[in-house]
Structure 1
Amino acid sequence: MQQSNHTRVDALKLSDEGFEQFVQMLRNKRSCGYFHTMEFARDVWGTKWNAYDQVIDLDAGELSFDTAWSCPMPLLVELSKRHPDAEITVRYADEDLGSNCGTVRLKAGETVSSEVAGRWDGMSEQEQQQWTAWARELKGWPENEEDDE
């Protein structure tokens, strides 16, 4: 979709404000390789926004946070590379309970083990129930809570 939007733009038909935004996107691409911050975030972080609702427990060596769309795996792999002696365990679940969740262990930027949910439409009903329960437990959401967010 983004590519089709880029090919349909006619710079001569843009408003003054739109033209200035277009020029700024070209400057961004030239200076850092990305048209806008969301493009950078998706490529480098693996998600469209920065983390939020962070909880850090230094004594336990744990932190938790929320991101948009998906687990920021590129960022976590880079963190693992920067701390090659540490094994980092990532447990994640998004608001689509059961379909984008799992556990990945990283060491020196490599995956040591991975147990993640498959595509929702490729899982059996039993697997869907298992992963939904797993995600609810990780998120701390009660089973009877409606997914209305």
Structure 2
Amino acid sequence: MPNWTHNSISVKNTGQGFDELREIFTPINDCDSEPFHLLIPPPSDGVDLDWYCNNWGTKWDAVDTRIHGRNKDEYQIVFRTAWAPPIPIFEEICRRFPDLTVGFDINSMESNHLGAAAYAPDFPFSVVGPAPFFTENYEANSLPLPKEFVDFSKRFSITPFTQWQMKKVGFIKSALTRLIIGIEILKRKNYSNLRKKEVLDLF
């Protein structure tokens, strides 16, 4: 199984394409719609995994896609990709729907990366990261979200850069994250030699 990257796309209706983009990602009969195939179609004569990695940024199409409506002028698309975020897909969305305002949020605890991207008609496509989610000591990385991204997030009813916000307010201290860190320790050490204090310090 791959290390999964969790992606979200927050879309604000500032022009044409609002409904069309949502339709591209909408699951069909509870099955993923293969949106990457629709946005950047592979050649008809067949391709290998290198083509997908080079043109999509990941070897498979989006999986576990869900769409959450925030209000009549905003929605959020969430999905997973294998190993890495689909940056070329994000760029294609901005190229194909230049009138929309779009924020992209990227995180993978498994692959230890965190990132964000943004686009609007008056905000050229920009990417920040990928940055490490954890430091070598499994502590929260203190890299701040750039001011221009903070200002950009105010265009939405809810910030599109959720993971950066969660990290900033101490997401690293959550029970879920502590559990993941504990599993990593168990994977790297012999259980019988694991110091009790090492585990207790996580909580």
| Shorter-chain TM-score tier | 0.5 to 0.7
Q: Gapped runs of 5+ residues in structure 1?
A: 1-31
The structure-2 alpha-carbon separation of the partners of 1:143 and 1:118, relative to structure 1 and needing over 3 Å to count, comes to: closer
Distance 1:37 1:107, change over 3 A: farther
Aligned to 1:100: 113
Aligned residue among 48, 55, 59 for 1:48: 59
Q: Which residue pairs with 2:84 in the alignment?
A: 70
Structure 1 residue ranges (4+ consecutive) displaced by more than 6 angstroms after TM superposition: none
Deviation at 1:120, TM superposition (A): 7.7
The verdict on how the C-alpha distance between 1:34 and 1:74 changes in structure 2, with shifts beyond 3 A counting, is: farther
Per mean C-alpha deviation after superposition, the further-off stretch among 65-74 and 100-109 is 100-109
* Structure 2 Cα separation of the partners of residues 37 and 110 of structure 1: 32
Given that residues 115 and 131 in structure 2 are in contact (C-alpha distance below 8 angstroms), is that contact kept between their aligned partners in structure 1? no
Task: Supply the distance in 2 between the matched residues of 1:105 and 1:78 (Cα, whole angstroms).
Answer: 13
Give the whole-Å Cα distance in 2 for the aligned partners of 1:88 and 1:37: 30
Judged with a 3 Å threshold, the aligned counterparts in structure 2 of structure 1 residues 95 and 34 are, in CA distance, closer, same or farther, namely farther
SS in 1 for 2:103: strand
Gaps of 5+ in 2: 1-42, 143-162, 185-203
Tell me which amino acid in the other structure corresponds to 1:68.
Answer: A
- Report the alpha carbon displacement of residue 43 of structure 1 after superposing the two structures with TM: 1.5
Following superposition, the deviation at residue 49 of structure 1 comes to 0.9
Equivalent runs, 1:82-121 vs 2, <5 Å: 82-96=96-110, 99-107=112-120, 110-112=124-126, 114-118=127-131
Query: Which has a greater percent of strand?
Result: 2
Matched residue of 2:99: which SS?
coil
Which residue is equivalent to 1:142? 176
> Which has the bigger relative contact order, CA under 8 A and spacing at least 6?
2
**Closer, same or farther: CA 49–105 of 1 in aligned 2, 3 Å:** same
Q: TM-score, normalised by structure 1?
A: 0.56
Quote how far apart the aligned CAs of 1:33 are: 9.1
Question: Given the two structures, how large is their TM-score scaled by the length of structure 2?
Answer: 0.43
Aligned residues: 113
